[in-house]
Amino acid sequence: MKPLLFSAALAALAAAPACAHFQLIYNPEPNLERPGDVPLRLIFWHPMENGHAMDMGKPLELFYVFKGEKIDIGETLAPITFTGAQNGAAAFEAALPVKRNGDYIVGLVPAPYYEESEDIYIQQITKVFFNKGGIPSGWNEPLGLPTEIVPLNKPTNVIAGSTFSGRLLSQGAPVAGAEIEIEYIAAEPDMETNAVGEATVGPVPGGAIVAITDENGVFTFGIPRAGHWGFAALGAGPATEHEGKELSQDAVIWIKAYDLD
Ligand SMILES: [Cu+2]
C-alpha cells in the first residue's frame, strides 16, 4: 500500500497547475426547509480570481446520494452559458429533487476537459452537500467515487472562524502527502442571469492556498470568512490518461460557511 500512496502523492504535486481552476456545483443555499427542486449551476471556472471560465462538455454523470441510495439526475441537465468577468463559457443547469429531511450529496463526473496550454485533460470529480430540516443522514459517508474528499466537519454549516477538515481518498484508500488547493467563490454566480456577481474579495498574493494531507489523508484549514469554500486534490484519481494524453483526475468538494451573529 505504501508505494501506491507515495506515487499518488508525487503525481498530485507534479499535476499542480499554474492557475487554480475549480469545478462548481452551485446553489447559494445548502440548508433547505421545504421540499422542491433545487436549481443547480455547473460551472468550470477560476472562482477566487473571478477569472477565466472554461467550456464544459456534457457531464458523464450527475447524481445524488440520499441515505445510501444513489439516484441519477443526469436527465435534468440542460446547457446554459455562464458569463464570467472575463468571458462566456458553456456550462449546465440541473435540478436536485428534495423531498424528505436529511443530507443530499450531489456528485458530478464531468467530461475530461482539454487544457491546451498544458496539453493535458482535466477531470474534476466534484461533490456538494445539501440538507433539509437540519437532520443529518450521512454527509460523512464516502460515495465510492474514483477519488473524493470526505468531510470530517458537517459541510453545510461551517462557522466562519472555525476549521474544516477532510480526508482524501483514491479508490477508497487515504492519500498521504497530497496537495489540497483551497478556494473561495469571490463573486457568486447569479442564479437568474447565469452571470457572475460583484467580487467581494481579491486573490491572495503568492498563488494558490495549499494544505498537505497527513499520513491518514486528512487536511485541516481555518475558515476565515462566510461563503462558499472549495477544496481540490489534483491528480488524486486512479485514471492518468485520456485519449493518449495525460489526465489530471481531481477530487473537489464545496462547503458553505456562515457568520455566527
Ligand atoms: Cu486554471
More confident residue, 62 or 10: 62
CB 131 within 8 A of CB 104: yes
Residue showing cell 462566510: 226
Given pLDDT bands bounded at 50, 70 and 90, which one contains residue 1?
very low
**What's the 90 CA to ligand 1 centre distance in angstroms?**
16
Q: What is the pLDDT of residues 144-197, one digit of tens each?
A: 999 999 999 999 999 999 999 999 999 999 999 999 999 999 999 999 999 998
Residue 252 CA: distances (Å) to CA of 86, 144, 258: 23, 14, 20
**What's the 18 CA to ligand 1 centre distance in angstroms?**
7
**What's the 122 CA to ligand 1 centre distance in angstroms?**
10
**What's the 19 CA to ligand 1 centre distance in angstroms?**
4
Q: Look at residues 16, 27, 43, 180 and name the one whose alpha carbon lies nearest to residue 110.
A: 43
The H-or-E segment that residue 5 falls in is helix 2-14
pLDDT at 202: 87
4-23 mean pLDDT? 60
234-246 mean pLDDT? 98
Structural domain containing residue 79: 2-258
pLDDT at 184: 97
CA distance 144 to 169: 9
**What's the 78 CA to ligand 1 centre distance in angstroms?**
24
**What's the 53 CA to ligand 1 centre distance in angstroms?**
9
Question: Is a pLDDT exceeding 80 seen at residue 10?
Answer: no
**What's the 46 CA to ligand 1 centre distance in angstroms?**
6
**What's the 44 CA to ligand 1 centre distance in angstroms?**
9
Question: Is a pLDDT exceeding 60 seen at residue 13?
Answer: no
Q: How many structural domains does the chain have?
A: 1
More confident residue, 56 or 9: 56
Given pLDDT bands bounded at 50, 70 and 90, which one contains residue 141?
very high
**What's the 138 CA to ligand 1 centre distance in angstroms?**
32
